[in-house]
């Protein structure tokens, strides 16, 4: 007879291995950003800077930021990171704001997925390494904080509807409406994805499944009453979306690339580092295959539940990915965002189907092992590019508090190889000027969000349309960059105290007349006060206090 203690231990281990592995991965994911003293993502510094500006406009309306910035009076999404990072920075400071944001976002997504899994299948294990995989996304490390946060919370809203679908009261309708509105105010695409899933699940469980899969067909009046609350809950989000679309300066480009989208799916959704581990080449195809198998092998009884609607929503998200234009309404990269949505919805289905349960523990162990490898690779890339970040910041130490700065950013193709962070599908140095400005309480006039008009903070009327375009053009300077810079220095409502020039010997055209014209203009009208080491790629120029001619 087997040892009862050993048998009980094995039973306990089998029952708890998934949550143990999931929480180990969660701790690793949360810990990685804290392994460096200065943590930045590509777009994260811009979100942090604009959150700082918004906080000052709200709390100190007479501060220097009010000279050139104002709150956007149009209805726009993208408020999530502004609010959360603003609160974090005001309490804990700017230095660790991104690290704290990532900690909160990953943890919130981990709990949201668990809630949704329990809502779809109460008997299923809600803590699973599959969730950790779904959260280890390119968007987080790119610094697309609004999109990432909204997608991480998307399962929470979907799960709330599924949990209460059979007894939807007026109060629950209001709660769902608030959840959908909050998703929109954080990012439009997760709100659209959640709305699509909720509508399809509601139609499936209330109309399609009873008519096709059940012997008892409820009266049309009953099904209409069950679907009506969903329509009411989605109305605020739809109204806000319509208002945002009407106020947008950029229309949707309806040109699609169906064939290339099919060939490239899912693109680099899960790339967080270089190499096979960093791209998760052995992981996301396996998850995708299991999602398809779970969908194919679902039992009839499961199709009659919300899982049937969830399967249809996964297919619908894939079709949207294939057909949706990649740009529109001031945004871009729409396809890859919906590609992640396919995995989010499909992952919820995979975690809750019954026939997959015998394979769940070995599959979760497989996910655990490969995801550990991905996290180690991601950490190595982070350590490498942090060296470049530190060199960049060393060059900017002379920038005084409250100053006004602009940045001319030229390509520096040798930097990733020099510091060892090539092939990570992002540039962590892209918006470091915004991090510098957030740290020193400066005005960074070349940050991309203010002229974009789809973010909460925009330029005030003191900065004209031509000036906004000129400032934005310095993110990728053209042949007339020296004239543009001179014109801006003489016409902006605030003086340009510092110019950050990002360029090195590998910059294309570095020996050409256009680039030499910029350097000549800077050296004749300003003085060099900082560079980034022996092989500088960052040069900081300070304004000479004489008037600009």
Q: Say yes or no: 362 and 474 in one domain.
A: no
pLDDT at residue 336 above 80?
yes
pLDDT at 253: 67
257's CB contacts (< 8 A; 6+ apart) are 326
- Would 224 be classed as within a structural domain? yes
pLDDT above 90 (res 491): yes
Instruction: Clarify whether residues 334 and 476 are in a common domain.
Output: no
Whether residue 282 sits in one domain with residue 220: yes
pLDDT (tens digit, 9 = 90+) per residue, 344-377? 999 999 999 998 888 899 999 999 999 999 999 9
Same domain? For 411 and 368 the reply is no
Question: What tokens appear for 89 in the block?
Answer: 């920075």
**Which pLDDT band holds residue 1 (cuts at 50, 70, 90)?**
very low
- Check if the beta carbon of residue 44 is closer than 8 Å to that of residue 33: no
pTM of the model: 0.94
Q: What is the pLDDT of residues 185-196, one digit of tens each?
A: 999 999 999 999
Whether 319 shows a pLDDT value over 80: the answer reads: yes
Residue 388 lies in a domain: no
Mean pLDDT of the chain: 92
Specify the pLDDT at position 296. Answer: 94
Residue 168 near residue 229, CB atoms below 8 Å = yes
Element holding 117 (H helix, E strand): helix 97-120
Judge whether 12 lies within some domain.
no
Answer yes or no: is 549 within a domain: no
Count up the domains in the chain and report the number: 2
What's the pLDDT score for residue 200?
96
Residue 485 phi/psi, 5-degree rounding, is -65, -45
CA dihedral (244, 153, 173, 346) positive or negative: positive
User: Residue 82 half-sphere exposure, CB side, CA atoms within 13 Å?
Assistant: 23
Q: What is residue 533's predicted lDDT score, i.e. its pLDDT?
A: 82
Within a domain: 396? no
> Above 70 in pLDDT, residue 214?
no
Lowest mean pLDDT segment, chosen from 101-110, 134-143, 201-210, 370-379: 201-210
- On whether the CB atoms of residues 355 and 347 are closer than 8 A, the answer is no
Q: Are residues 316 and 409 in the same domain?
A: no
Band (pLDDT 50/70/90 cuts) for residue 6 is: low
Range of the domain at 287: 17-378
Same structural domain, 147 and 261:
yes
Residue 392 in domain: no
Provide the percentage of residues in the chain whose pLDDT is more than 70.
93
pLDDT score of 216: 67
Q: Is residue 399 part of a domain?
A: no
How does strand 404-409 pair with strand 498-502?
parallel
* 526-533 contact pairs (CB < 8 A, 24+): 526/499, 529/398, 529/498, 530/394, 530/395, 530/396, 530/397, 530/398, 530/399, 531/395, 532/391, 532/392, 532/394, 532/395, 533/391, 533/394
d(CA 314, CA 202): 14
């Amino acid at each position: 007879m087997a040892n009862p203690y050993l048998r009980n231990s094995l039973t306990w281990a089998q029952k708890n291995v998934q949550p143990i592995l999931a929480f180990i991965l969660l701790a690793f994911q949360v810990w990685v950003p804290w392994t460096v003293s200065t943590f930045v993502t590509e777009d994260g510094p811009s979100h942090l800077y604009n959150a700082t500006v918004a906080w000052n406009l709200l709390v100190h309306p007479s501060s220097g930021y009010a000279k050139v910035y104002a709150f956007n009076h149009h209805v726009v999404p993208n408020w999530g990171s502004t609010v959360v990072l603003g609160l974090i920075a005001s309490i804990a400071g700017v230095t660790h704001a991104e690290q704290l944001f990532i900690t909160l976002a990953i943890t919130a997504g981990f709990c949201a997925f668990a809630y949704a899994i329990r809502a779809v299948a109460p008997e299923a294990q809600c803590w699973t390494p599959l969730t950790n995989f779904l959260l280890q996304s390119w968007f987080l490390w790119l610094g697309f904080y609004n999109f990432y946060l909204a997608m991480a919370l998307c399962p929470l809203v979907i799960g709330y509807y599924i949990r209460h679908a059979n007894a939807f009261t007026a109060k629950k309708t209001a709660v769902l409406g608030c959840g959908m509105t909050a998703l929109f105010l954080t990012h439009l695409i997760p709100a659209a994805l959640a709305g699509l899933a909720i509508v399809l699940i509601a139609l499936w469980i209330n109309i399609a499944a009873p008519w096709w899969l059940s012997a008892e067909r409820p009266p049309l009046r009953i099904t209409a009453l069950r679907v009506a609350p969903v329509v009411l809950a989605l109305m605020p989000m739809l109204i806000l979306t319509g208002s945002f679309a009407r106020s947008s300066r950029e229309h949707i480009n309806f040109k699609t690339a169906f064939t290339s989208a099919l060939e490239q799916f899912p693109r680099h959704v899960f790339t967080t580092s270089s190499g096979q581990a960093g791209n998760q080449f052995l992981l996301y195809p396996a998850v995708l295959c299991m999602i398809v198998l779970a969908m194919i092998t679902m039992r009839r009884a499961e199709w009659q539940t919300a899982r049937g609607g969830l399967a249809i929503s996964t297919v619908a998200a894939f079709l949207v990915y294939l057909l949706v234009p990649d740009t529109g309404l001031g945004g871009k990269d729409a396809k890859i965002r919906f590609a992640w949505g396919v995995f989010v919805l499909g992952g919820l289905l995979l975690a809750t189907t019954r026939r997959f349960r015998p394979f769940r523990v070995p599959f979760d162990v497989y996910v655990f092992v490969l995801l550990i490898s991905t996290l180690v690779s991601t950490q190595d890339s982070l350590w490498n590019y942090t060296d470049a970040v530190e060199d960049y910041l060393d060059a900017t130490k002379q920038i005084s508090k409250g100053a006004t700065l602009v940045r001319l950013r030229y390509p520096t193709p040798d930097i990733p190889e020099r510091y060892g962070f090539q092939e990570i599908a992002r540039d962590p140095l892209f918006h470091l000027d915004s991090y510098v400005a957030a740290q020193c309480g400066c005005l960074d006039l070349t940050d991309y969000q203010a002229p974009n008009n789809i973010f909460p903070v925009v330029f005030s009327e003191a900065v004209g349309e031509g000036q906004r375009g000129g400032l934005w053009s310095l993110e990728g300077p053209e042949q007339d960059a020296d004239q543009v810079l001179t014109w801006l220095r003489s016409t902006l409502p605030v003086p340009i105290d510092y110019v950050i020039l990002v360029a090195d010997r590998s910059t294309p055209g570095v020996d050409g007349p256009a680039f030499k014209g910029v350097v000549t203009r800077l050296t004749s009208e300003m003085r060099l006060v900082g560079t980034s080491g022996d092989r500088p790629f960052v040069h900081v120029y300070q304004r000479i206090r004489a008037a600009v001619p």
